């Protein structure tokens, strides 16, 4: 049975990764590019942390999906059910089968509530929330800003969370708010981080720890959230000291994420990739299927997923699709990633590093790992404009 439609380059996922890549390969001369994306609303997800910090609204980050799909790119408003890489066929929920010359798999990741029992029930109450779901981002700030006394716990998972350090934005904006309104002394603030550091840039890590100390935040690293009891408002934590339980009046979660199940079911994952697309971490080509590529949150690229990482990954995949066809040398992705983190409502720093945790600053003249008002203005106001007008159209270097 032949596919219903055939496309030269087929992209699975219409988020930042998928549209940026589709726009880039169109600009490189490919005339037949299609994207599969079921959501009719496109969201600039980095602004969700600002929504959770009371500095943006959902309207600021939302556009109709068809308005942002790059010119000349076909969109299928359907869900992927499976991929058959041996036949080079993608099957959609509506029954359509799509063939491809090259396939780019970048559907993003999803919250893995099962990884922390009780967490999904907790965010259904007024005392817990997250910025990783649009419908809960706004309630996060309502929860935090209304707290005047008690205990606030912030948990950042290290398990495939897209740009997990941005979970510090609600923390630092909230503590800034509590200080300005005179209630910070009545609130016990605890930051629980699953990773050994707040960020993998040692300079930025020092700055963020100093900011936490200034606000009186207790920081616990290398600590896992085992479970949450929404009824008792308690969180069960595990560290090298063992297990302990802490009470909360407000709980913020940057929860573990997982890849869509059809990736592993389609044979695109390996035992080492934890359900994510198994790729060569340099070329981003699939380890077994040379016409399949992965990038973004759904790919096992051995570095922190982030929008900044995509600015390096997208050109690599676009060029390597052509390199495979022409049998020329491929470009390499160096593992660069970046986390923009506020230290107050007025200042922000950039933590930039590679997959080995080595700092990789983009500026040699200005230390971007130090909090600056100009960086916050860029990240909150200018970067979204660049995203809508340039990045989604594939205009990335």
Q: Specify the pLDDT at position 1.
A: 56
On whether both 146 and 202 belong to a single domain, the answer is yes
For the chain, the distance separating the N- and C-terminal CA atoms, rounded to the nearest angstrom, is 40
On whether both 105 and 116 belong to a single domain, the answer is no
Q: Specify the pLDDT at position 363.
A: 85
Q: Specify the pLDDT at position 268.
A: 98
On whether both 140 and 204 belong to a single domain, the answer is yes
On whether both 11 and 88 belong to a single domain, the answer is yes
On whether both 118 and 93 belong to a single domain, the answer is no
**Residue where a domain terminates, one of 215, 233, 256:** 256
Q: Specify the pLDDT at position 275.
A: 98
On whether both 252 and 140 belong to a single domain, the answer is yes
| 311 located within any domain | yes
Residue 206 CA to residue 213 CA, distance in Å, equals 11
Q: Specify the pLDDT at position 23.
A: 96
On whether both 168 and 296 belong to a single domain, the answer is no
Q: Specify the pLDDT at position 2.
A: 61
On whether both 209 and 280 belong to a single domain, the answer is no
Residue 177 CA to residue 203 CA, distance in Å, equals 25
On whether both 247 and 311 belong to a single domain, the answer is no
Q: Specify the pLDDT at position 265.
A: 98
CATH number of the domain at 240, please: 3.50.50.60
On whether both 178 and 249 belong to a single domain, the answer is yes
On whether both 105 and 119 belong to a single domain, the answer is no
Q: Specify the pLDDT at position 329.
A: 97
Residue 376 CA to residue 383 CA, distance in Å, equals 10
Task: Kindly provide the b/e burial profile for residues 325-342, where b requires at least 16 CB atoms within 10 angstroms of the residue's own CB.
Answer: eeeeebeebebbbbbbbb
Closest by alpha carbon to 254, among 47, 82, 96, 116? 116
Q: Specify the pLDDT at position 395.
A: 81
Q: Which of the residues in the chain have pLDDT under 70?
A: 1-2, 396-397
Range of the domain at 147: 112-256
Residue 292 CA to residue 136 CA, distance in Å, equals 34
pTM for the full predicted model: 0.95
| 135 located within any domain | yes
Residue 84 CA to residue 369 CA, distance in Å, equals 44
Q: Specify the pLDDT at position 292.
A: 98
**Residue where a domain terminates, one of 256, 271, 303:** 256
Q: Specify the pLDDT at position 397.
A: 61
Q: Specify the number of domains making up the chain.
A: 2
């Amino acid at each position: 049975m032949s596919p219903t439609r055939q496309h030269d380059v087929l992209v699975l996922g219409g988020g930042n990764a998928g549209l940026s890549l589709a726009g880039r390969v169109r600009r490189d001369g490919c005339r037949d590019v299609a994207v599969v994306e079921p959501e009719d609303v496109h969201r600039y997800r980095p602004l969700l942390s600002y929504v959770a910090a009371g500095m943006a609204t959902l309207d600021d980050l939302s556009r109709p999906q068809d308005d942002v799909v790059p010119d000349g790119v076909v969109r299928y408003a359907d869900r992927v059910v499976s991929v058959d890489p041996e036949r080079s066929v993608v099957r959609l929920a509506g029954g359509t089968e799509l063939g491809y010359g090259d396939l780019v798999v970048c559907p993003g990741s999803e919250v893995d509530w099962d990884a922390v029992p009780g967490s999904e029930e907790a965010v259904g109450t007024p005392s817990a929330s997250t910025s990783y779901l649009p419908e809960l981002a706004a309630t996060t700030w309502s929860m935090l800003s209304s707290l005047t006394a008690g205990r606030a716990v912030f948990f950042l998972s290290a398990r495939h969370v897209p740009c997990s350090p941005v979970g510090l934005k609600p923390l630092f904006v909230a503590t800034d708010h509590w200080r300005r309104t005179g209630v910070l002394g009545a609130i016990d603030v605890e930051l629980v981080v699953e990773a050994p550091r707040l960020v993998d840039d040692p300079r930025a890590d020092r700055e963020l720890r100093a900011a936490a100390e200034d606000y009186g935040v207790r920081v616990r690293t290398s600590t896992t959230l085992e479970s949450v009891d929404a009824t008792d408002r308690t969180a069960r934590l595990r560290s090298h000291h063992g297990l302990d339980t802490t009470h909360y009046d407000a709980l913020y979660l940057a929860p573990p994420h997982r890849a869509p199940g059809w990736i592993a079911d389609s044979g695109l994952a390996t035992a080492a990739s934890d359900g994510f697309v198994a790729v060569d971490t340099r070329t981003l080509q699939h380890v077994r299927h040379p016409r399949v590529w992965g990038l973004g949150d759904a790919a096992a690229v051995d570095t922190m997923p982030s929008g900044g990482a995509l600015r390096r990954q997208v050109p690599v995949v676009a060029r390597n699709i052509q390199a495979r066809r022409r049998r020329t040398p491929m470009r390499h992705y160096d593992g660069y990633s970046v986390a923009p983190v506020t230290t107050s409502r007025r200042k922000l720093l950039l933590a930039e590093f590679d997959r080995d945790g080595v700092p990789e600053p983009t500026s040699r003249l200005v230390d971007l790992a130090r909090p600056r008002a100009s960086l916050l203005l860029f990240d909150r106001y200018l970067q979204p404009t660049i995203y809508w007008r340039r990045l989604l159209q594939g205009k990335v270097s």
